[in-house]
Chain A
Amino acid sequence: MTRGLTFRLLLGSAILLAIVVAGFAVMAAAVDQLEGAGHAEGHATKVLATANALEKATLDLETGLRGYLLTGKQPFLDPYRDAQARYPVLARELESLSSGDTRQRRRVAEIAAAIGRYDRTWVQPLIARYGQDPAAARAAVATGRGKAQVDAIRARFTVFDAAQTGIAARRSQHASSTGSLARALAFGGMAICGLLVLVFTVFLRRTVVTPVQRLARGVERIGAGELSVRVPVTGTGEVRGLNAGFNAMADNLELQRDELENQKAELEGQQLELEAALAFVEAEKAHAELLQRFGDDLAVASGLERVSEVALRELADRAGAEIGALYVLDERSGAFALAARRGLGAGDLAPALVPGEGLAGRALAERRPVSVSYGETRLRLPGLVSGRDAAHELHLPLLHGERTIGVVSLGRSRDEAFGAQELELLAILAERAAVVAAEALSLRRVEGLAGQLETLLASIDQGILGLGRDGRIVLVNRAALELTGYTEDDLLGEDAHALLHHTRPDGTPYPAVECPIFEALANGTQAHGDNDCFWRRDGTSFPVEFASYPLFDGGQAAGGVLTFVDVEDRKRLERQRDTQHAVTAVLADANTTEEAIPRLLDAICNGLGWPLGFAWQAHADAAQLRCIAWHAAPGHEEAAASRAAGSISGDGGPAATALERRETVVAGNAVAVPIVGIDGDLLGIAEFRSDDAIGAAGLVGTLDAIAGQTAQFFERKRAEARTEHMRQEFVATVSHELRTPLTAIEGWLDVLGSEEAGPLNEDQQRFLATVRRNSERLRRLVGDLLLSRQIETGQLSLELEDLDLTELAAESLDLVRASADAKGIELEAQLDGPALVHGDRIRLAQLLGNLLTNAVKFTPEGGAVRVAVSAGEHACRIAVSDTGIGIPRDERDRLFQRFFRATTATHGGISGTGLGLAISKSIAESHGGTIELVDRDGPGTEFVVELPALVRETARR
């Protein structure tokens, strides 16, 4: 069983505590003892004092007796009596004080008894006897028996006092010795305590502090990674356990670290294995790819040399031939030149073959494989000392259609003749190689041509590309590079369509199969185009005009030459010119600026391909411009609305700058054109936004021209409006100025006519009537002028009511009847009533009156005027016809214009203002109706007015 450290510490502390407590207990006892000694001394003094008082009382008994007996006087008895009362009390007191000591108490009891006996047996009888026989009494005293008794008592007191003094001395001595002992104990205890504390501290240090410090250092070192650290297992209890635990933990850690290191090593081992496996797989894969590529290489190899090499290598590999050579047709010389060799030096082989000569030449001439064995073979395998002949040889012609492209010679040392099956396979491969070689030959030819042409081509500003049959670029000239922004390396070998022609101008993809160039190359035909664009290296495009001419090789299409020019400038100028034409057309066609502005924006935006256009109109305060119209291409409406709601001043855009400088400003993809009048007034600003940067040459000039045209148009329209306004003002003023005199004329005519100012004779009355008639005519003219002005300014107001046109026609007829009768004109009426309309009675009567008055006026005497009114389902119709002079055909379309008068009227001297029909037309139209001149030749005129019929339901109500 292990005693815990706590237990040990508790035990040590308890021992220390017990010793300290014992020391203090001894000291406390000593103090108590000293205190007891003090008490004893006081007690002894008190006992002695009481004993003395009792002794004195005894003496008083005797003294009082003697005094009384000698004098016989009662006062001498007072001390006696006093003592007699006192002594029992004192005796009891003394007895109680001495109760702690048996012997002393016995002595007190004896003294008390002796005193009592003396009193009762001696004193009292003497006193009593003195009363009867004083002399006897005195004699008795003289005997001295009494005095002997008192002396005996006093002797007892002496003994008692001595005994009491002895007791006190003994006690005092005992107390003194006890105090010395306590002092000795106190000092001893202190020394022992100090020693014990020292011992305890040493114990703590040895068992707790030192091991813990050691442990702490150990933990630090472990923490620092020094896992081999151990601490001695010292100390006791838990500390010892702690040290042991630490060592165990360190062991454990070390063990785990070792394990981890082992695992890591193992993992590393596995990693290496894995890498080895991967490397193996990679190698296998590479091998497989290599094999795959052998086949593909041939297909993608470009250039005759490369094609030859690959073809030979592949064929030789297939045939297991260590040596071989490949000869290809040299088109310039017609000979077959060595193009590739395997396992042979250049010196071992003829640089060129002639068909028919040698085995390979035979294969060429006969266009069939030739194989030979031992002895016949010509190819020598190279050896260490001297070569030896190949065991078997094979010469395969490379045939492409009718052409013989070349020959492959293969030799192998393996003693196995070329079997039929092997030959068949190799022939197929040779055929394949021939096709590729033929293409390579074509390419070489084109390249050859290109080389010759290069210098020539460099001097041409048209872009020129030489294209292979597959559309790959084999040649470029300087201009082509400049136009496309590519370098020669970028272009050569690339698919021209995919690089330059991949997207249409509208941004949609341009599939190669739809490309005319591509098609022309494939078919060996020519192609032209001027609506496409080519794309530059930087992603921009330019409109292009191109032509593609085919190249032939032995009757087969072998590529082509593509020429192209950048027509951007031309197209742009065309667009600008077209736009300007469109603007001119709009300006020629538009009647008002309000109508013109949106159409101008549309024309410019559509013409120049801009999606956004705004018209900002200047107000009196030129700094304030308001957007009065805009053009937005589909998808741009929101942007347009947002811009139009804003302001152009102070936004830093081109419009603000244009406003400030009064000149066309281009900035980024926006342009602003101020429209400035002749007198320098800013009329407005046109602002356009493009998807791309605006900066085309000649654009500003075109826009300025358009702005000039527009400004002129605005000025002209403004001037027209001013003139029109002045004219209307004039009409208003004149009509007003005429009315005042008319008031005076007609008023005074009334006065005269009423004969208030005196009677008139017949002539005077007739003259007055003439004046009145002309005055009325004047008044009508003024009325018509005012009415026409109201119509013109849109201020004609109608007072509408339901009315019957037949009634109105009858009333109107009545009004002209007098003048018709005067000319002998017959009035006919065909009134198929009722013809109900919703209209202004006064205005419609005016309309009818105008038509009838005209009819009568323009109809010669004896003619006829006819009115027909009829009601249709939707419209009521009034026809007024006459047999008059008619209206010339070429003047009919101007008939309803204000102030227009037909030549027949002016030549005929028929008076009129030219307002009547214009007013009539306005009245009809303001009722939602029409007025027309019936189209017919010959004399006579017929006007037809149609007015909307009153809806039947309404009519019934």
Chain B
Amino acid sequence: VSAERTPRILVADDEEDVRELIVYRLSRSGYDVVEARDGEEAFRLAVDDVPDLAVLDVMMPRLDGYELTRRLRAEPATSRVPIILLTARTQEADVSQGFEAGADDYLKKPFSPDELVARVRAVLGRR
């Protein structure tokens, strides 16, 4: 984590309770968090102000996590933003679909918030 600037994380989940939990946990861990209620909003926010990392739910209305990931990867500004997918699907095919779309990591629901923080830290550290 850069010492100069607080890393900004984009969190996209249509489930408000889960989203709030993630935001709460990441904010408490010292990150600057931006919220999006669906895939389209997330894409707009990400392009407007490129985040340091994106945590995206897979099952979202209008634009699902896979497609959102593909679009972010296709956009020059956001093509290198690390992405963690949250999925309730656990099948191998689902996981590989996520990686194929361009995700850096994935987390199965239900997950513990501490696990998410650890993954976020790890992915940011990789950069």
Contacts and interface: CB of A to CB of B under 8 A. Distances in A.
- A and B held together in a complex: yes
Interface of A: 736, 739-748, 750-751, 756, 779, 786, 790, 795, 797
Interface stretch (B38-46, B48-56, B74-82, B111-119): B111-119
Given A751-B21, A751-B24, A739 B88 contact: yes
Contact of B110 (A756, A779, A786): A779
Contact of B88 (A740, A744, A750, A779): A740
Given A740-B59, A744-B17, A744-B21, 8 more contacts: A736-B88, A743-B111, A746-B112, A747-B111, A748-B17, A751-B21, A756-B28, A786-B90
B15 A751 contact: no
Given A739-B110, A742-B110, A747 B25 contact: yes
Contact of A748 (B15, B21, B114): B21
Interface residues of B, number: 20
B65 to A, nearest CB: 13
A746 B88 CA distance: 14
B92 interface: yes
B89 A795 contact: no
9 contacts: A736-B59, A739-B88, A740-B109, A747-B22, A747-B112, A748-B17, A748-B21, A756-B28, A779-B110
B59 to A, nearest CB: 8
A306 to B, nearest CB: 97
A747 B116 CA distance: 10
Nearest to A756: B28
A741 B15 CA distance: 9
Interface in B92-115: 92, 109-114
Interface in B25-43: 25, 28
A11 to B, nearest CB: 123
A744 B24 contact: no
Nearest 5 interchain pairs by C-beta: A744-B17, A743-B110, A747-B21, A742-B110, A739-B88
Contact of A750 (B18, B22, B59, B113): B113
Contacts of B90: 786
B43 to A, nearest CB: 22
B2 interface: no
A398 B108 CA distance: 117
Nearest to B15: A740
A742 B108 CA distance: 12
B37 to A, nearest CB: 15
A746 B114 contact: no
Interface of B: 15, 17-18, 21-22, 24-25, 28, 59, 88-92, 109-114
Contacts of A756: 28
Contacts of A746: 110, 112
B17 to A, nearest CB: 4
Contacts of B59: 736, 740
Contact of A744 (B18, B28, B89, B91): B18
A751 B25 contact: yes
Given A740-B15, A740-B18, A743-B109, A750 B89 contact: no
B109 A750 contact: no
Contacts of B25: 747, 751
A793 B113 CA distance: 32
Nearest to B17: A744
Contacts of A739: 88, 109-110
Most buried by A among B25, B28, B109, B112: B109
A747 B89 contact: no
**Highest count of chain B CB atoms <10 Å: which of A740, A747, A797:** A747
A739 B90 CA distance: 11
A581 B15 CA distance: 59
A250 to B, nearest CB: 113
A751 B14 CA distance: 21
Contact of B91 (A740, A742, A743, A795): A795
B88 A747 contact: no
A643 to B, nearest CB: 39
A954 to B, nearest CB: 27
Nearest to B86: A743
Contacts of B21: 743-744, 747-748, 751
Q: Which residue of A736, A744, A779, A786 has the most chain B CB atoms within 10 A of its CB atom?
A: A744
A140 B25 CA distance: 197
A736 B89 contact: yes
A748 B21 CA distance: 7
A790 B93 CA distance: 12
Nearest to A789: B91
A778 to B, nearest CB: 10
A33 B59 CA distance: 149
A795 B18 CA distance: 29
A790 B89 CA distance: 12
A743 B90 CA distance: 14
Nearest to A795: B91
Contacts of A790: 91
Given A736-B88, A739-B109, A744 B114 contact: no
Contacts of B112: 746-747, 750
A352 B110 CA distance: 125
Contacts of A740: 15, 18, 59, 88, 109
Contact of B114 (A742, A750, A779): A750
Nearest to A747: B21
Taking each of A740, A743, A745, A756, which has the highest tally of chain B beta carbons within 10 Å of its own beta carbon? A743
Contacts of A751: 21, 24-25, 113
A739 B87 CA distance: 9
A797 B93 CA distance: 12
Q: Which of A740, A750, A786 has the most CB of B within 10 A?
A: A740
A745 B111 CA distance: 10
A739 B15 CA distance: 12
Nearest to A782: B110
A259 B111 CA distance: 130
Among B15, B24, B110, B111, the one with the most A-chain Cβ atoms within 10 Å of its Cβ is B110
A790 B17 CA distance: 29
Contact of B15 (A736, A744, A786): A744
A438 B109 CA distance: 109
Contacts of B17: 741, 744, 748
B92 to A, nearest CB: 7
Nearest to B14: A740
A747 B92 contact: no
Nearest to A748: B21
Contacts of A736: 59, 88-89
Nearest to B90: A786
A750 B25 CA distance: 10
A758 B116 CA distance: 22
A744 B22 CA distance: 9
A751 B109 CA distance: 17
Contacts of A747: 18, 21-22, 25, 110-113
Q: Residue among A739, A742, A797 with the most chain B CB within 10 A?
A: A739
A751 B24 CA distance: 9
B30 to A, nearest CB: 13
A747 B24 CA distance: 10
A477 B15 CA distance: 95
Contacts of B15: 740, 743-744
A355 to B, nearest CB: 113
A741 B109 CA distance: 9
A787 to B, nearest CB: 10
Contacts of A797: 92
A747 B21 CA distance: 7
A864 B92 CA distance: 41
Contacts of B28: 756
A742 B17 CA distance: 10
A779 B110 CA distance: 8
A676 B114 CA distance: 59
Contacts of B88: 736, 739-740
Nearest to B16: A744
A127 B114 CA distance: 187
Contacts of A786: 90
Contacts of A744: 15, 17-18, 21
